[in-house]
Each structure stands twice: as C-alpha cells, then as structure tokens.
Amino acid sequence: MNEKYDEHYIASVTALGDTHEVVTSQAVFTRNGIKLVDTGTRIHSAFREKLVQHKLAPPIDQCLTVANGVTQTALRERAREILDSEPRFQLIRTTLPGIERLLNAFYAAPLAAPLAFKLTVAREQRPEIYEHSVQMTLIALFLAIKSRMTDRDLATVAAAGMLHDIGELHIDPELLRPGRRLEGGEMRHVYAHPMTAYMILQEYPQFHPEISTAVFEHHERLDGSGYPRGLKGEEIGPIGQILMLAEAVTTLFEKSWRTHGASRLSVMLKMNRRKFSRELVDHLVGLLHGGQPQGLDSLGEVSAEAVVAQLDQLAEIFRNWHGAYQACAVDTPKTAEAPLVAFVNQRITGLERTLLETGFHPDELAALTAGIEEDAVALAELQLMARESRWQVSDILHALQRRRDELGTEGGALVDGWVARTEALLQD
C-alpha cells in the first residue's frame, strides 16, 4: 500500500473523532517501536499530524474503537431502507419471491472489528463510498440468488460487496470527485484500489483468500480489458464475476437512472456481452423485462442532428485508427505488430465487432438515422448506443495509460497521434 496515500485515510479517521467517540483500544506505535498514543486515548483531528508522519504498527484500524459503528444489523437495515425507498431497486423487490434471504445475507456476512471500523469511517466521512457499496451489494446478492448460490455463498458475496471499495478510503478524495480529470500518475492511484483492498483483507484469515480475491477482481473483465491484472475468462472466480457486473450496473444506475431509467442499462448489457458472464447478464435482462422499466420514449425530445453528430464522431474515431494502422502495416509491418499497436487494434476491432453484433455497422452509423427523424424511441436508443460506445472508447484510452509501460514504446508515434485526435473528438 502506498504510504503517502495513507495520510488521506488517517485524515478521515481523525476527523471521525471530532463527531464520534473514537478511542484507542491498544497503544499506537511506530514500526520501529516508538509509542505515539497510549491506550484509552480519545482520538480527534489534533492527532492527524502526529499520526501521518509515521508508519504505524499495528495498522490504525486495529487500535481504535468507535461508538455507534457499523454492524451487520445496521447494514441489513440500510439495505432494507434502500429496497423500500429507491425506485431503481423496486425491480429487485418485485422480481424476487421475497427479500428476507437477501437481507439476511448482510446479517450473516463476516465482519471483523477493524473492517467494521473501516466501514464506519466510510459511512461517516466518505458516504458516497458507503452508499455505493450497499447498493452494489444488493445487486450482487440479487445475481447470487438468481445463480442459486447457497446461504454461505450469499454471506461471502455480501462481505465482498461491502468491502470491495475500502481501498478507495486510502486515495485522495479529490481524485474521486465526479468530473475530475485525472492527470499523469493520478490514474495509477485510482486503479490500484482493488490491490489496496486485497492487501488489507489478506491480513484477516476469515477474509483471505476467497473474499479478498473476489474484491481484487471486481474491475476485471472476461475479455481481459479490466484491471488491475487484465485477467480473462475462468481466471476470474464466480464471485468476482458477480461483483464486476454488479459494480458496472451500480455505477450506471448512479450516473444515469434519473435521465435514462433502465434503458441505458439495457443498451450497456447489449454492448458488453464479452465482458461479463452471459448467464449473469441474462438474469439482469429478466429483471428489466419483469420490472416494467422506464421506456426510451420517456427520455424527452432527442435531436436527430445531435445524434448524427455523435455517430459521425464515433465513425471518425474508427476511421482515424484504421487509416493510420493500415498505412503503418504497409510502410513498417514490424511496427504494426508491436504490442502497443496490436493492443489498440485489438480493442478497436473488438468494439466494432460488438457494434455489428448489436445491429450497428461502424461504417454506416450516421445512415442509421435516415427515415427515423420523427421516431423519438429509435433516436433515443441510437443516442444511448453512441454514448455507451464513446464511453468504451474512453475506456480504451484509460487502459492504454494504465498499461503503457508494459506495452513498450514501438509504435508510440502512431498511437499518440490517434489518441490526441480521439481525445479532441470526445471533448466536442
């Protein structure tokens, strides 16, 4: 774990002490044996500078208790509140024969005291992480129930879901602010959070390796396009596969439910068949069909001109790559086979293949609007497809940034030129 970024977690811990009774249950030492804080001391913001200056032993979570902290009962009750009050979760409630088995998984989930403390820090200081985790766990449990998992497995899924983003507590909150554009090495810190969570959980035998491994895998993808290790297919365990789909769905719900209802989720599922388990995707498709989701015709007026512009930009991104790649293959065939160039080509052609399978030909995107200018439903579906495709292009750019060192420098000029043109188009 990056020691520099522990300062952000300690800042949250000490700030928690300003509003809650946070007390040391054992003395806090530096790793070279110097006592910093004695047992029974009330911790608050005044301790921040003292604690961030040292590497601590044992980890700070093992040294502290907090009044009214997160418990399994509190998790179950918060999950029940979401199912009762959040419209997007009514689909789950109406699709399952009952919700008690799902809710009881929160109560049965293992929760070591230091990890419960960590969730309390999230709930009180980083509520966006806590709420996201509860909602993601609800979707993961729905998928686990539909997959006929045992009650023991449901408890494991619940624990993994609630703990999947604890690594984000060690990241500068500014880097996670919505709309924040990550620069240079900042992306590396965000992409490291599954590994950070894994390193935390491996210290607890009850959570390692089953839960820790699933948490590590929650941003992987079956086609190898995920992170942190680019795992593929069966290299990702069953619970990891549930978490990664539940994470994608939850993020989509958070960003677009109020404007697009279940419609964007439907488009996303169509366009990501290679990334997620087909069986799990089918469970979500059944959820949408059974829950009478908001339709595309309720999205409001959609401009045919705006849709054409988005489709033209997408087609230009494809043309720019293929033009540069084909010229390279003719002039310098060896460069066209370089790992960096081959990586981009594989990802771009993969996206084009997905579009074809979904019914959209990459070379004829704008032509799809001909004759449907007055059909708001059809235009809205095209717009959602274009947005999802643009998001996947952005994902290719992020993956390039993550893996640039391992892919080498040969072909860098070709790739950098395409990246620059693509970023300009995506900003329009």
Of residues 380 and 28, more confidence is placed in: 28
Give the domain extent around 112. 72-290
Q: What is the rounded CA–CA span in Å between residue 176 and residue 171?
A: 8
324 and 417 inside one domain: yes
pLDDT over threshold 90, residue 361: no
pLDDT over threshold 80, residue 113: yes
pLDDT over threshold 60, residue 259: no
pLDDT, tens digit (0-9, with 9 covering 90-100), for 46-58: 999 999 999 998 9
Q: How many domains does the chain have?
A: 3
DSSP 410: T
Question: Is this model's pTM higher than 0.75 or not?
Answer: yes
Residue 184: predicted pLDDT: 67
pLDDT, tens digit (0-9, with 9 covering 90-100), for 116-131: 999 999 999 999 999 9
pLDDT, tens digit (0-9, with 9 covering 90-100), for 154-175: 999 999 999 999 999 999 999 9
Residue 185: predicted pLDDT: 76
> Two tokens at 331?
């002039």
77 and 156 inside one domain: yes
Residue 369: predicted pLDDT: 58
Evaluate whether residue 344 is within a structural domain: yes
126 and 182 inside one domain: yes
323 and 410 inside one domain: yes
Domain boundary among 290, 322, 337: 290
396 and 344 inside one domain: yes
> Two tokens at 192?
């490291």
pLDDT, tens digit (0-9, with 9 covering 90-100), for 280-324: 998 988 777 554 434 444 445 567 788 778 888 888 999 999 999
Residue 4: predicted pLDDT: 44
Residue 187: predicted pLDDT: 81
280 and 317 inside one domain: no
pLDDT over threshold 50, residue 218: yes
133 and 237 inside one domain: yes
Evaluate whether residue 308 is within a structural domain: yes
pLDDT, tens digit (0-9, with 9 covering 90-100), for 17-51: 999 999 999 999 999 999 999 999 999 999 999 99
DSSP 21: -
226 and 241 inside one domain: yes
Residue 294: predicted pLDDT: 42
Domain boundary among 265, 290, 315: 290
State yes or no: cis peptide before 87, omega within 30 of 0.
no
Burial class of 65 by CB neighbour count within 10 A (0 to 12, 13 to 18, 19+)? middle
Evaluate whether residue 56 is within a structural domain: yes
Instruction: Quote the radius of gyration of the chain (alpha carbons, Å).
Output: 23
Question: What is the CATH classification number for the domain harbouring 159?
Answer: 1.10.3210.10
143 and 280 inside one domain: yes
Other C-beta atoms lying within 10 Å of the C-beta of residue 120: 25
Mean pLDDT score across all residues of the chain: 87
325 and 378 inside one domain: yes
**Terminal Cα distance for the chain, rounded:** 38
27 and 160 inside one domain: no
DSSP 58: S
The secondary element (H helix, E strand) that includes residue 341 is helix 339-358
Residue 362: predicted pLDDT: 63
Evaluate whether residue 61 is within a structural domain: yes
Evaluate whether residue 106 is within a structural domain: yes
Domain boundary among 27, 50, 66: 66
Residue 377: predicted pLDDT: 61
